Amino acid sequence: MPCTSCKSNAEREMPISFSASVEIATEGTDPQNTGSSLDYDYDTLIAVDIKKRWEAVHDRNMAKEQVLRDNSNADRGALSQNADGSYRVMGEAERDLKDKVRDSHNLFVKEHLQSRKPR
């Protein structure tokens, strides 16, 4: 690269004190994007990301608890998440269908794992 004062070619050097930081907010459980592969504050960035994720888990649990307080006959198995992220209590038919789908899935996984066991 040419020198700005003498116009001769100069070697590029990275200053010792170089640091870059980019904060890009993420949604839900998407991994934090550092914005650069030259992240010297990697541990701090990961800690901040983990803190945000645990806060999101806490907020979801508090929302679920509020729905359960408002619906004293419901349990956590009756909760369903709405498209907007809020929670509601499922009706009996919807819960029965959810339970059947879950049981069917669990049976499929169990049979699949058993067929893969070394003999």
pLDDT tens-digit readout, 16-58: 555 555 555 666 555 555 555 555 567 778 888 899 999 999 9
Considering the domain boundaries, does residue 52 fall inside one? yes
Q: How many domains does the chain have?
A: 1
Considering the domain boundaries, does residue 100 fall inside one? yes
The per-residue pLDDT for 32 is 58
Considering the domain boundaries, does residue 21 fall inside one? no
Considering the domain boundaries, does residue 71 fall inside one? yes
Residue 81: pLDDT band (50, 70, 90) is very high
Considering the domain boundaries, does residue 36 fall inside one? no
* pLDDT over 60 (residue 9): yes
Considering the domain boundaries, does residue 27 fall inside one? no
The per-residue pLDDT for 44 is 78
Token pair listed for 103? 């049981």
Beta-carbon-side half-sphere exposure of residue 6 (alpha carbons within 13 Å) = 3
Query: The domain containing residue 107 runs over which residues?
Result: 42-115
Question: Nearest CA to 40 among 8, 63, 67, 14?
Answer: 14
pTM, two decimal places? 0.52
Considering the domain boundaries, does residue 82 fall inside one? yes
The SS3 call for residue 33 is: strand
Considering the domain boundaries, does residue 98 fall inside one? yes
